Amino acid sequence: MSEPQKNPFEVFGLTAEMAARLNERDLYSLVRTLYRGLQKVYHPDRAGARGPEKQEDHADRTVELNLAFESLNLDKNPESFRRCHRLYAARRKRGLSRQITELQGELGRSNAERDGLADGYMAYLVRGLPWLSGQDGYAPPNPMAPTNLKVGLNDVAITQNVRTASWTLGSNYKEIVFDALGTLFYRPVGRAKPFQANYIHLLGVIPTDQIDLVPILDRVPPREGFFKSPALDARYGIDGAPLEVLNTLGLAKFKRYCLPLLRPDFTERSFLFSIHRPLFEKEGLVSVEGVIVKITNL
């Protein structure tokens, strides 16, 4: 099968966008300059020392250039020039612009598919929770609820707020404990003993080297009394105070950035995610329990 015939502008290496942008006199001047330059490059005498194959190639190229310029000679053949110009300029819609449009469509379909998968996976993770509004019945076992296990964590928000404010709140260590029946007990920062927490449902973990979590955490203006010393109050002032980092992020952010990386096991140096019933039901927030730093079998 023979190759499709080129538009004469293609022979001179001009793009459809360039042909459409220039008026016909300027475009013809450019074509004429290119023709003269390429005629010198492909003159048969220049290929004489390179063998018969090169001579033949140069001869074919010279013929192609002559025929193309004959079609684009505005002074002698204006109708041909304008017809080729019109046809070639119309290719803009079938070239790069068309590819961009098609890629944008594919990206939109991919994003819609990703969002649908995220919604389905999230519904799977929270399926059967008896305390979710409108859901009753049996809750399947949660793979994140082992037995006889203690998980030690560093609170992410406290760590960030201490670093930002440059003063010490104390230990940021907290614990989650599972008894022999898999019941979850919670010891937040500042508490001496853990207490049973039926309102917490663990979702999974993401290794800290796989996600930059802090930038997507929620932030609020500092609470009243956030500063604990006159020096800090004078240094920042209420208007210049850094935003307080929270251990929560919206459900949309969680689905987009975290859900594809989520793992259903406990590993050290990983962020642990959970649902706290009040925050999830009322505000649609996912909680970050902290970074797992210690796992102990009881």
Q: What domains are defined for the chain?
A: 8-94 (1.10.287), 138-297 (no CATH)
At 205, which helix (H) or strand (E)? strand 200-207
List the structure tokens of 86.
């019109």
pTM of this prediction? Answer: 0.60
Q: What is the DSSP letter of 222?
A: P
Query: Residue 233: what pLDDT?
Result: 47
d(CA 82, CA 28) in angstroms, rounded, equals 10
Query: Residue 234: what pLDDT?
Result: 47
- Per-residue pLDDT for the chain (298 aa), expressed as one digit of tens each? 344 578 899 999 888 888 888 898 999 999 999 999 998 888 777 655 566 777 788 888 888 999 999 999 999 999 999 999 998 888 776 656 667 777 888 888 888 888 888 888 888 887 766 655 454 444 455 667 788 999 999 999 988 887 655 444 457 899 999 999 888 999 998 888 999 988 888 999 999 999 999 999 999 887 665 555 444 444 454 555 678 889 999 999 999 999 999 998 899 999 999 999 888 888 989 999 999 999 999 8
d(CA 121, CA 76) in angstroms, rounded, equals 69
Inter-residue contact 272 to 262 (CB < 8 Å): no
What lies within 8 Å, CB to CB, of 296 at 6+ separation is: 149, 150, 151, 152
Query: Residue 167: what pLDDT?
Result: 44
SS3 for 175?
Answer: strand
